[in-house]
Structure formats: structure tokens, C-alpha cells
Amino acid sequence: MRAVIVAAAVAFLISLFGTPVAIRVFTALKAGQPIRSIGLASNEGKKGTPTMGGVAFIVATVLAYVAGHIALTTLPERQIAQEGPTMTALVLLGLFIFCGVVGFLDDFLKVRRRNSDGLSAKGKLIGQALVAGGFGIAALYVASTNGQTVASEHISLIRDISWLDVGKVGSVMAFVFVITAMSNGVNLTDGLDGLATGASVLVLGAYALIGFWQYRHWCADATYARANDYCYQVRDPLEIAMIAAAAAAACLGFLWWNTSPARIFMGDVGALGLGGLMGGLAVATRTTLLSILIAGLFVLITITWVIQIVSYRTTGRRVFRMVPLHHHFELAGWSEVNIVVRFWIVAGVSVAVGLGLFYSDFLAVMG
């Protein structure tokens, strides 16, 4: 537990005090966010606000992970057994960083061209798929000494579903889908000050709790496994908890500067990076289908966006005033702050229900 707390504390402090440095740097580089003129009140006055702020919380998370491992050297032998970096950490942090790189390229092109046209949608998807495919192969084909891999050949809900065996190739394809869907979901949500950042804190916090709970009831822990019939077949759950807690705390520190009126935007570097990490956490904790509920706000915004696109292209009619969904409510007269807080509530309820189902499964088996 100490390592998780240390990682979270270090991430929060680095992000809280490092983000103002990022604000000054990106302002000096004239890396202002190009704003589309689409008639929304929330866009007024935002032109020129520095973007690419996701770099701050990505760096904070990586440094905090290192600090967490330094803290491990003071812990009992049972916890020192997870000294790393492990393949789980390489996959999760790799997704965070390299999905962020794809987003960084998009942000860089927007800033350089001084308009909102960055990477093409096709180019962005190809970049995400290449990153997800590479780390998906590592997650499926690189096993630990006991044969455990980061990802599984089964589709999972709260643990692997035994009859949903899709094989390694199918699992890599599912991995790519989860990562690209989640990263684009966070990207779509990142449209109002603090909205995606606050929701990400909740989702990442949930995965920190799940990872630590799995660590405390881990099949690789011989002491626990001998005394109980139920344990979690995952790889390196303490690593999962440390990275998720560090990322949640880093986002919380960033939120101090990103909340309305935002001093800096996370940009695609932050949104795609966060989505990639969340997708990786879902796969690593064997909660792929449960992540639909845990990340419910991101899923809802993605689904409504798809509905709007399909409806308009097939019937010529719009279901919503505008997508992503938060803009629909802006045009309905809601203030930006009201939308953000209410959407945070939706995200919090989704996380709470998801965690409740995760824990109820444990109680059902143990009872």
C-alpha cells in the first residue's frame, strides 16, 4: 500500500507544480489551441490557450512510477517480489506514452497550421492501431516465469469468461479495438474545461482500487492462494495499482489548472494517452466488458456521437443538436460549469456501480 500512496503523492505534486511550467513553456512556444468557430458560448475567449498539457501528467506518472519502485525497497519480501519494471508496466506506460505521441503529432500539426486540422481521422486511427497492435502482441506473447501474460486469450467481464476463448490473434484484435475505442472516447469527451480530466480521475481511481484489491487476493501470493478457493489470475496487480493511482493523482494535479477557466488544455496528447492507458488497465485487470460501465461517461459520449453520424448519413436528420453530447446541452442553454459537474456525477455513478459489481462478484464467490 505504501508504494501506491508514494506513487500517487509524487504524481500529484509533480503535476500540480509542473503544469504551470508547461503553461509557460507552451505559451512561449505559441502552442495555442486553435478553436473552431461553431457558435458555442464555451469557445469564447479560449483561443490561444496553450495546449499539449497532457505532457505534464504523462511525465508525472512515469516519474511517480519510478518513485513507487524506490519505495518498494523498504517493504517486506512479499512486495519486493514485484520490483520492476515488469512487462505489465511496460505495456501500460507504453500505451500511455505512445498513444500520447500520436496525439502530440495531431496537436503539433494543429498548432503549426494554426487551425483545427491535425492528423486526418484515418491517420490518427492508423497510429492508434499500430501502437495498440504492438503492445497487444507484447501483452499476449511475452509471459512471466509462471506463464502469466498481461492480457488473456479470453474476453473478460470481472474475470476471464471461460467459454469466450478467442485465441491469441483474436485477443490482439480485441486489444486493438479496446485501446482505439477508449482513446477516441476520451478524446471526444475532451471538449469543456476539466470535463475529461475529472472523469479520468474517477475511472483511473477505480482501477487503482481494483488493482490493489486483486493484489491482496492474488493467485501468485502462495499464502493467500492456499487458504482460499478464489483468487485473481492477473499479472503484476501491484504494478497496475501503482500506475493507475499515479495517473489519477497526476490528472488531479492537472485539474487544478484545467478547470474552468482553463489555463491549459490537455490536448490530444493527453486525451489519447489517457484513453490508451484506461483500455490497457481494463485488459490487464481482466475487466474488459466491465470497463464499459466503469468508463460509462466516455462510452455514452462515444455512442451518442455514433448515433448522430449514422442518423445524419442515412436519413439526413440529427438526433442531437450537436455532438459530442456536451455541446448538445450547451445549445440547450446549460452553462459550461453545470454540464461539467453533472457529467462528473454521471461518471461517478458509473464508476460506483462498476466497482459495486466487481466487489459483489467477489462476495458471491467467497460466500
pTM: 0.94
Q: Kindly calculate the radius of gyration of the chain based on its CA atoms and give it in whole angstroms.
A: 20
Q: DSSP letter for 156, please.
A: E
H or E, element range at 69: helix 54-72
Which residues of the chain register pLDDT less than 50?
A: 77-81
Count CB atoms within 10 A of the CB of residue 24.
Answer: 12
Model pLDDT, residue 75: 59
Residue 78: its pLDDT value, please? Answer: 46
**H-only helix segments in the chain:** 2-28, 54-72, 77-80, 87-113, 121-141, 167-189, 195-216, 222-227, 237-258, 267-284, 291-294, 296-315, 325-331, 336-366
- CA 188 – CA 195 distance, rounded (Å): 11
pLDDT, residue 11, reads 98
